[in-house]
Amino acid sequence: MPAPELRICVAETDLEAALRLDVRHGLTSHPKRLPMRLHYDGRGSAMFGELTRQPEYYQTRSERAILRDHAAAIAGALGDGPVSVVELGAGRAEKIRPVLDALAGAGRLDAFWPFDVAAGQLREVLLELADAYPGARLGGVVGDFTRDLDQLPDRGGARLVAFLGGTFGNFTGPERSRFLRDLREAVRPGDRFLLGADLVKDPEVILAAYNDAAGVTAEFNRNVLYVLNHRLDADFRPDDFEHVVLWDGDTATIDMRLRAMRAMAVDVAALALDVGFRAGEEIRTGVSVKFHRGELENQLQASGFEPEACWTDERGYMGVFLARAV
Ligand SMILES: C[S@@+](CC[C@H](N)C(=O)[O-])C[C@H]1O[C@@H](n2cnc3c(N)ncnc32)[C@H](O)[C@@H]1O
Protein backbone atom coordinates (compact mmCIF):
# COMPACT_ATOMS: atom_id res chain seq x y z
CA MET A 1 0.00 0.00 0.00
CA PRO A 2 1.23 3.55 -0.69
CA ALA A 3 2.30 5.56 2.39
CA PRO A 4 -0.49 7.60 4.06
CA GLU A 5 -0.81 11.06 2.62
CA LEU A 6 -2.35 14.24 3.97
CA ARG A 7 -4.85 16.11 1.83
CA ILE A 8 -4.83 19.71 2.94
CA CYS A 9 -8.23 21.33 2.30
CA VAL A 10 -7.57 24.25 4.51
CA ALA A 11 -4.14 25.88 4.51
CA GLU A 12 -2.49 27.12 7.71
CA THR A 13 -2.85 30.68 6.42
CA ASP A 14 -6.61 30.23 5.90
CA LEU A 15 -6.97 28.75 9.39
CA GLU A 16 -5.07 31.69 10.81
CA ALA A 17 -7.23 34.21 8.91
CA ALA A 18 -10.44 32.42 10.04
CA LEU A 19 -9.17 32.38 13.63
CA ARG A 20 -8.52 36.12 13.57
CA LEU A 21 -11.94 36.88 12.11
CA ASP A 22 -13.75 34.59 14.56
CA VAL A 23 -11.91 35.96 17.59
CA ARG A 24 -12.37 39.60 16.60
CA HIS A 25 -16.06 39.00 15.95
CA GLY A 26 -16.54 36.89 19.09
CA LEU A 27 -14.78 39.23 21.51
CA THR A 28 -16.59 42.31 20.19
CA SER A 29 -20.04 40.61 20.29
CA HIS A 30 -22.58 40.87 23.12
CA PRO A 31 -22.41 38.45 24.81
CA LYS A 32 -18.77 37.63 24.04
CA ARG A 33 -18.12 34.21 22.52
CA LEU A 34 -15.28 32.04 21.19
CA PRO A 35 -15.55 29.16 18.69
CA MET A 36 -15.38 25.58 19.98
CA ARG A 37 -12.65 24.46 17.56
CA LEU A 38 -10.25 26.93 19.24
CA HIS A 39 -10.04 24.51 22.18
CA TYR A 40 -8.12 21.94 20.15
CA ASP A 41 -4.56 23.20 19.82
CA GLY A 42 -1.84 20.68 20.77
CA ARG A 43 -2.27 21.29 24.53
CA GLY A 44 -6.07 21.34 24.22
CA SER A 45 -6.17 18.03 22.32
CA ALA A 46 -4.00 16.43 25.04
CA MET A 47 -6.27 17.88 27.75
CA PHE A 48 -9.34 16.58 25.95
CA GLY A 49 -7.75 13.11 26.12
CA GLU A 50 -7.26 13.56 29.88
CA LEU A 51 -10.79 14.78 30.52
CA THR A 52 -12.26 11.75 28.72
CA ARG A 53 -10.54 9.60 31.36
CA GLN A 54 -12.19 11.39 34.32
CA PRO A 55 -14.65 9.18 36.26
CA GLU A 56 -17.52 11.66 35.74
CA TYR A 57 -17.00 11.85 31.97
CA TYR A 58 -19.28 9.00 30.90
CA GLN A 59 -19.39 9.96 27.20
CA THR A 60 -16.17 8.33 26.05
CA ARG A 61 -16.57 5.12 28.07
CA SER A 62 -20.19 4.69 26.97
CA GLU A 63 -19.56 5.34 23.29
CA ARG A 64 -16.46 3.15 23.31
CA ALA A 65 -18.48 0.30 24.85
CA ILE A 66 -21.21 0.64 22.20
CA LEU A 67 -18.72 0.59 19.34
CA ARG A 68 -16.82 -2.35 20.86
CA ASP A 69 -19.98 -4.38 21.50
CA HIS A 70 -21.65 -3.65 18.16
CA ALA A 71 -18.72 -3.32 15.75
CA ALA A 72 -19.59 -6.61 14.03
CA ALA A 73 -23.24 -5.53 13.61
CA ILE A 74 -22.14 -2.16 12.19
CA ALA A 75 -19.75 -3.84 9.74
CA GLY A 76 -22.50 -6.33 8.82
CA ALA A 77 -25.00 -3.54 8.15
CA LEU A 78 -22.65 -2.15 5.49
CA GLY A 79 -23.12 -5.16 3.18
CA ASP A 80 -20.43 -7.72 2.46
CA GLY A 81 -18.08 -5.90 0.08
CA PRO A 82 -15.17 -3.51 0.62
CA VAL A 83 -15.89 -0.34 2.58
CA SER A 84 -14.04 2.95 2.84
CA VAL A 85 -14.43 4.89 6.08
CA VAL A 86 -14.10 8.64 6.68
CA GLU A 87 -14.14 9.91 10.27
CA LEU A 88 -15.00 13.59 10.76
CA GLY A 89 -13.36 15.29 13.77
CA ALA A 90 -11.44 12.04 14.25
CA GLY A 91 -9.06 13.28 16.95
CA ARG A 92 -6.92 10.24 17.79
CA ALA A 93 -9.33 7.98 15.84
CA GLU A 94 -9.47 5.53 18.75
CA LYS A 95 -13.21 4.87 19.09
CA ILE A 96 -13.71 3.87 15.48
CA ARG A 97 -11.01 1.20 15.76
CA PRO A 98 -13.34 -1.74 16.63
CA VAL A 99 -15.31 -1.00 13.43
CA LEU A 100 -12.08 -0.77 11.41
CA ASP A 101 -10.90 -4.02 13.04
CA ALA A 102 -14.17 -5.80 12.19
CA LEU A 103 -13.90 -4.67 8.55
CA ALA A 104 -10.17 -5.42 8.30
CA GLY A 105 -10.66 -8.84 9.95
CA ALA A 106 -13.11 -9.74 7.19
CA GLY A 107 -10.73 -8.36 4.54
CA ARG A 108 -13.22 -5.53 3.78
CA LEU A 109 -11.42 -2.37 4.94
CA ASP A 110 -10.61 -0.67 1.65
CA ALA A 111 -9.58 2.72 3.03
CA PHE A 112 -9.68 4.93 6.11
CA TRP A 113 -9.43 8.72 6.16
CA PRO A 114 -9.47 10.61 9.47
CA PHE A 115 -10.62 14.19 8.76
CA ASP A 116 -9.71 16.84 11.33
CA VAL A 117 -8.71 20.46 11.57
CA ALA A 118 -5.76 19.57 13.87
CA ALA A 119 -3.03 18.70 11.35
CA GLY A 120 -0.26 17.79 13.83
CA GLN A 121 -2.33 15.18 15.63
CA LEU A 122 -3.52 13.76 12.30
CA ARG A 123 0.07 13.08 11.21
CA GLU A 124 0.79 11.11 14.41
CA VAL A 125 -2.44 9.13 14.13
CA LEU A 126 -1.71 8.12 10.53
CA LEU A 127 1.62 6.61 11.54
CA GLU A 128 -0.12 4.45 14.20
CA LEU A 129 -2.81 3.40 11.74
CA ALA A 130 -0.30 2.39 9.06
CA ASP A 131 1.07 -0.25 11.46
CA ALA A 132 -2.40 -1.50 12.42
CA TYR A 133 -3.96 -1.68 8.92
CA PRO A 134 -1.20 -2.54 6.46
CA GLY A 135 -3.74 -3.74 3.87
CA ALA A 136 -5.84 -0.57 3.71
CA ARG A 137 -5.37 2.68 1.86
CA LEU A 138 -4.84 5.40 4.50
CA GLY A 139 -4.86 9.16 4.23
CA GLY A 140 -5.69 12.17 6.36
CA VAL A 141 -7.79 15.16 5.43
CA VAL A 142 -6.90 18.44 7.11
CA GLY A 143 -10.18 20.28 6.82
CA ASP A 144 -13.01 22.04 8.56
CA PHE A 145 -16.16 19.93 8.59
CA THR A 146 -18.29 23.08 8.62
CA ARG A 147 -17.05 24.09 5.15
CA ASP A 148 -14.94 21.37 3.51
CA LEU A 149 -17.40 18.45 3.28
CA ASP A 150 -17.24 18.67 -0.52
CA GLN A 151 -13.69 17.34 -0.11
CA LEU A 152 -14.74 13.97 1.36
CA PRO A 153 -12.53 11.27 -0.17
CA ASP A 154 -14.35 8.75 -2.33
CA ARG A 155 -13.20 5.42 -3.77
CA GLY A 156 -16.47 4.80 -5.61
CA GLY A 157 -17.58 1.83 -3.47
CA ALA A 158 -19.47 1.57 -0.17
CA ARG A 159 -18.60 4.44 2.16
CA LEU A 160 -19.18 5.05 5.85
CA VAL A 161 -18.89 8.57 7.26
CA ALA A 162 -18.48 8.52 11.06
CA PHE A 163 -18.97 11.49 13.39
CA LEU A 164 -18.33 10.46 16.98
CA GLY A 165 -17.55 11.98 20.36
CA GLY A 166 -20.78 13.97 20.66
CA THR A 167 -19.17 16.64 18.44
CA PHE A 168 -22.49 16.96 16.54
CA GLY A 169 -23.93 18.31 19.82
CA ASN A 170 -21.46 21.21 19.73
CA PHE A 171 -23.44 22.73 16.85
CA THR A 172 -26.34 25.09 17.47
CA GLY A 173 -29.71 24.11 15.92
CA PRO A 174 -29.18 26.02 12.63
CA GLU A 175 -25.58 24.72 12.42
CA ARG A 176 -26.83 21.13 12.82
CA SER A 177 -29.32 21.56 9.99
CA ARG A 178 -26.69 23.11 7.73
CA PHE A 179 -24.16 20.36 8.55
CA LEU A 180 -26.65 17.58 7.73
CA ARG A 181 -27.67 19.30 4.51
CA ASP A 182 -24.02 19.76 3.44
CA LEU A 183 -23.19 16.17 4.37
CA ARG A 184 -26.16 14.82 2.43
CA GLU A 185 -25.02 16.83 -0.61
CA ALA A 186 -21.48 15.48 -0.22
CA VAL A 187 -22.34 11.75 -0.12
CA ARG A 188 -23.95 9.37 -2.63
CA PRO A 189 -27.24 7.48 -2.08
CA GLY A 190 -26.41 4.29 -0.21
CA ASP A 191 -23.49 5.79 1.74
CA ARG A 192 -23.87 5.34 5.48
CA PHE A 193 -23.60 7.90 8.29
CA LEU A 194 -22.56 6.69 11.76
CA LEU A 195 -23.37 9.34 14.36
CA GLY A 196 -22.48 9.23 18.06
CA ALA A 197 -24.75 11.42 20.21
CA ASP A 198 -25.15 12.15 23.90
CA LEU A 199 -28.72 11.32 25.00
CA VAL A 200 -30.94 13.25 27.42
CA LYS A 201 -30.65 11.85 30.95
CA ASP A 202 -30.56 12.96 34.60
CA PRO A 203 -29.13 16.54 34.53
CA GLU A 204 -27.00 15.75 37.61
CA VAL A 205 -25.11 13.11 35.61
CA ILE A 206 -24.65 15.51 32.70
CA LEU A 207 -23.53 18.47 34.85
CA ALA A 208 -21.03 16.33 36.77
CA ALA A 209 -19.35 15.35 33.49
CA TYR A 210 -18.52 19.03 32.83
CA ASN A 211 -17.55 19.77 36.42
CA ASP A 212 -15.19 16.88 37.21
CA ALA A 213 -13.71 16.91 40.70
CA ALA A 214 -10.14 17.05 39.38
CA GLY A 215 -10.93 20.26 37.49
CA VAL A 216 -9.72 18.93 34.12
CA THR A 217 -12.74 20.25 32.18
CA ALA A 218 -12.26 23.65 33.84
CA GLU A 219 -8.63 23.71 32.67
CA PHE A 220 -9.68 22.54 29.21
CA ASN A 221 -12.15 25.42 29.09
CA ARG A 222 -9.57 27.99 30.26
CA ASN A 223 -7.08 26.62 27.72
CA VAL A 224 -8.87 28.64 25.06
CA LEU A 225 -7.37 31.76 26.68
CA TYR A 226 -3.86 30.26 26.54
CA VAL A 227 -4.50 29.61 22.84
CA LEU A 228 -5.31 33.31 22.34
CA ASN A 229 -2.22 34.34 24.32
CA HIS A 230 -0.02 32.02 22.30
CA ARG A 231 -1.47 32.52 18.83
CA LEU A 232 -2.64 36.13 18.93
CA ASP A 233 -0.20 37.58 21.43
CA ALA A 234 -3.01 38.33 23.92
CA ASP A 235 -2.41 38.95 27.62
CA PHE A 236 -5.31 37.04 29.22
CA ARG A 237 -4.67 35.82 32.77
CA PRO A 238 -6.61 32.54 32.58
CA ASP A 239 -6.73 32.18 36.39
CA ASP A 240 -8.83 35.37 36.52
CA PHE A 241 -11.63 33.46 34.77
CA GLU A 242 -13.95 31.00 36.43
CA HIS A 243 -15.24 27.87 34.63
CA VAL A 244 -19.05 28.02 34.50
CA VAL A 245 -21.40 25.28 33.29
CA LEU A 246 -25.14 25.84 32.88
CA TRP A 247 -27.85 23.34 31.96
CA ASP A 248 -30.92 24.45 30.03
CA GLY A 249 -33.51 21.71 30.46
CA ASP A 250 -35.85 23.21 27.82
CA THR A 251 -33.31 22.88 25.03
CA ALA A 252 -31.32 20.03 26.69
CA THR A 253 -28.15 22.09 26.28
CA ILE A 254 -24.97 22.41 28.32
CA ASP A 255 -23.56 25.90 28.01
CA MET A 256 -19.86 26.38 28.91
CA ARG A 257 -18.64 29.82 29.82
CA LEU A 258 -15.65 31.63 31.32
CA ARG A 259 -16.61 34.31 33.85
CA ALA A 260 -14.29 37.25 34.57
CA MET A 261 -13.75 37.37 38.34
CA ARG A 262 -12.81 41.07 38.27
CA ALA A 263 -13.02 44.00 35.88
CA MET A 264 -10.06 44.02 33.50
CA ALA A 265 -8.75 45.10 30.12
CA VAL A 266 -7.12 42.55 27.82
CA ASP A 267 -4.87 43.41 24.90
CA VAL A 268 -5.06 41.09 21.88
CA ALA A 269 -1.93 42.50 20.26
CA ALA A 270 -2.07 40.61 16.94
CA LEU A 271 -5.55 42.05 16.32
CA ALA A 272 -4.74 45.51 17.75
CA LEU A 273 -7.83 44.93 19.90
CA ASP A 274 -8.46 46.05 23.49
CA VAL A 275 -11.19 44.05 25.17
CA GLY A 276 -12.80 45.31 28.37
CA PHE A 277 -14.48 42.96 30.87
CA ARG A 278 -16.85 43.90 33.66
CA ALA A 279 -16.57 41.82 36.86
CA GLY A 280 -18.84 38.81 36.32
CA GLU A 281 -18.96 39.20 32.52
CA GLU A 282 -18.90 35.90 30.65
CA ILE A 283 -17.41 34.54 27.43
CA ARG A 284 -19.45 31.71 25.87
CA THR A 285 -16.98 29.00 24.95
CA GLY A 286 -19.19 26.18 23.68
CA VAL A 287 -22.46 24.31 23.83
CA SER A 288 -23.18 20.60 24.04
CA VAL A 289 -26.70 19.57 23.10
CA LYS A 290 -28.18 16.28 24.37
CA PHE A 291 -30.70 14.43 22.20
CA HIS A 292 -33.91 12.43 22.41
CA ARG A 293 -33.56 9.40 20.18
CA GLY A 294 -36.80 9.95 18.24
CA GLU A 295 -36.10 13.65 17.60
CA LEU A 296 -32.65 12.94 16.26
CA GLU A 297 -33.95 10.16 14.01
CA ASN A 298 -36.60 12.56 12.68
CA GLN A 299 -33.94 15.16 11.94
CA LEU A 300 -31.79 12.57 10.13
CA GLN A 301 -34.79 11.49 8.08
CA ALA A 302 -35.75 15.08 7.23
CA SER A 303 -32.17 15.64 6.03
CA GLY A 304 -32.15 12.71 3.59
CA PHE A 305 -30.71 9.98 5.85
CA GLU A 306 -32.92 6.96 6.55
CA PRO A 307 -32.26 5.75 10.14
CA GLU A 308 -31.41 2.03 10.12
CA ALA A 309 -30.25 1.28 13.66
CA CYS A 310 -29.49 2.84 17.02
CA TRP A 311 -27.32 1.17 19.63
CA THR A 312 -27.00 2.41 23.21
CA ASP A 313 -24.90 1.41 26.21
CA GLU A 314 -26.56 -0.45 29.08
CA ARG A 315 -27.48 2.78 30.92
CA GLY A 316 -28.78 4.42 27.74
CA TYR A 317 -26.37 7.36 28.17
CA MET A 318 -25.04 7.55 24.60
CA GLY A 319 -26.53 6.55 21.26
CA VAL A 320 -24.74 5.48 18.08
CA PHE A 321 -27.02 5.93 15.06
CA LEU A 322 -26.59 4.34 11.65
CA ALA A 323 -28.43 5.97 8.75
CA ARG A 324 -28.38 5.46 4.98
CA ALA A 325 -28.29 8.34 2.52
CA VAL A 326 -31.37 8.12 0.29
C1 LIG B 1 -14.59 16.26 21.00
S2 LIG B 1 -13.20 15.85 20.02
C3 LIG B 1 -13.69 14.23 19.51
C4 LIG B 1 -12.56 13.37 19.05
C5 LIG B 1 -12.95 11.93 18.69
N6 LIG B 1 -13.88 11.89 17.58
C7 LIG B 1 -13.55 11.22 19.90
O8 LIG B 1 -14.72 10.84 19.81
O9 LIG B 1 -12.86 11.04 20.90
C10 LIG B 1 -13.49 16.86 18.62
C11 LIG B 1 -12.49 16.72 17.45
O12 LIG B 1 -13.02 17.45 16.33
C13 LIG B 1 -12.00 18.29 15.80
N14 LIG B 1 -12.70 19.48 15.28
C15 LIG B 1 -13.33 20.46 16.00
N16 LIG B 1 -13.87 21.35 15.17
C17 LIG B 1 -13.58 20.94 13.90
C18 LIG B 1 -13.90 21.44 12.61
N19 LIG B 1 -14.62 22.55 12.47
N20 LIG B 1 -13.47 20.74 11.53
C21 LIG B 1 -12.73 19.60 11.67
N22 LIG B 1 -12.40 19.08 12.88
C23 LIG B 1 -12.83 19.74 13.96
C24 LIG B 1 -11.07 18.59 16.93
O25 LIG B 1 -9.77 18.94 16.45
C26 LIG B 1 -11.10 17.28 17.73
O27 LIG B 1 -10.12 16.39 17.26
Whether the CB of 164 sits within 6 Å of ligand 1: yes
Alpha carbon of 304 to ligand 1 centroid (Å): 24
In a domain, 46, yes or no: no
Alpha carbon of 206 to ligand 1 centroid (Å): 20
Q: Stretch 69-96: mean pLDDT, rounded? A: 96
Residues 145-175: tens digit of each pLDDT = 998 999 999 999 999 999 999 999 999 999 9
In a domain, 233, yes or no: no
> Nearest residue CA, atom 19 of ligand 1?
144
Q: What is the pLDDT of residue 44?
A: 87
Q: What is the pLDDT of residue 9?
A: 77
Residues 60-79: tens digit of each pLDDT = 999 999 999 999 999 999 99
Q: Which of 3-17, 34-48, 201-215 has the highest mean pLDDT?
A: 201-215
Q: What is the pLDDT of residue 217?
A: 96
Residues 97-130: tens digit of each pLDDT = 999 999 999 999 999 999 998 888 898 899 899 9
Residues 255-267: tens digit of each pLDDT = 999 999 999 999 9
Q: How confident is the model at residue 308 (pLDDT cuts 50, 70, 90)?
A: very high
Q: What is the pLDDT of residue 8?
A: 79
Show the domain range for 120: 57-202+293-325
pLDDT at 10 over 80: no
Alpha carbon of 115 to ligand 1 centroid (Å): 9
Q: Stretch 236-255: mean pLDDT, rounded? A: 98
**Do residues 212 and 57 touch, judged by C-beta distance below 8 A?**
yes
Q: What is the pLDDT of residue 164?
A: 98
Whether the CB of 320 sits within 6 Å of ligand 1: no
Residues 167-185: tens digit of each pLDDT = 999 999 999 999 999 999 9
In a domain, 217, yes or no: no
**What is the amino acid identity at position 70?**
H
Alpha carbon of 170 to ligand 1 centroid (Å): 10
Whole-angstrom Cα distance, residue 251 to residue 288?
10
pTM, to two decimals: 0.94
In a domain, 153, yes or no: yes
Q: What is the pLDDT of residue 78?
A: 96
Give the helix/strand (H/E) hosting 236.
none
> Nearest residue CA, atom 10 of ligand 1?
89
Whether the CB of 163 sits within 6 Å of ligand 1: no
Whole-angstrom Cα distance, residue 143 to residue 157?
22
In a domain, 48, yes or no: no
Q: Stretch 18-32: mean pLDDT, rounded? A: 95
| Average pLDDT score, the chain | 95
**What is the amino acid identity at position 30?**
H
In a domain, 29, yes or no: no
In a domain, 223, yes or no: no
Q: How confident is the model at residue 12 (pLDDT cuts 50, 70, 90)?
A: confident
**Do residues 102 and 129 touch, judged by C-beta distance below 8 A?**
no
The share of the chain scoring above pLDDT 90, in percent, equals 84
Q: How confident is the model at residue 14 (pLDDT cuts 50, 70, 90)?
A: confident
Q: What is the pLDDT of residue 261?
A: 98
Domain count, the chain: 1
Q: What is the pLDDT of residue 16?
A: 84
Alpha carbon of 87 to ligand 1 centroid (Å): 10
Q: Stretch 227-248: mean pLDDT, rounded? A: 97
Please return the burial class of 43, using the count of CB atoms within 10 Å of its CB with bins 0-12, 13-18 and 19+: middle
Which atom of ligand 1 has the smallest separation from the CA of 196? 8
Whether the CB of 165 sits within 6 Å of ligand 1: yes
* Strand ranges (E), the chain: 5-8, 32-33, 83-88, 109-116, 137-142, 158-163, 192-198, 241-248, 253-260, 264-268, 273-277, 282-289, 305-312, 318-325
Give the CA distances from residue 159 to residues 193, 228, 247, 300, in Å, rounded to whole numbers and listed in that order.
9, 38, 36, 17
Whole-angstrom Cα distance, residue 227 to residue 236?
10
Whether the CB of 118 sits within 6 Å of ligand 1: yes
Give the residue, out of 14, 37, 86, with the most ligand 1 atoms within 8 A of its beta carbon, to mutate for a pocket test: 37
The CATH number given to whatever domain includes residue 117 is 3.40.50.150
Q: How confident is the model at residue 207 (pLDDT cuts 50, 70, 90)?
A: very high
Whole-angstrom Cα distance, residue 257 to residue 238?
13
In a domain, 19, yes or no: no
Which atom of ligand 1 has the smallest separation from the CA of 163? 6
Alpha carbon of 49 to ligand 1 centroid (Å): 12
Q: What is the pLDDT of residue 118?
A: 84
Backbone dihedral angles phi then psi of residue 5, each to the nearest 5 degrees: -125, 160
Q: What is the pLDDT of residue 75?
A: 97
Alpha carbon of 163 to ligand 1 centroid (Å): 9
pLDDT at 1 over 80: no
Whole-angstrom Cα distance, residue 27 to residue 214?
29
Q: What is the pLDDT of residue 188?
A: 97
Helix%, strand%, coil% for the chain, nearest 5:
40, 30, 30
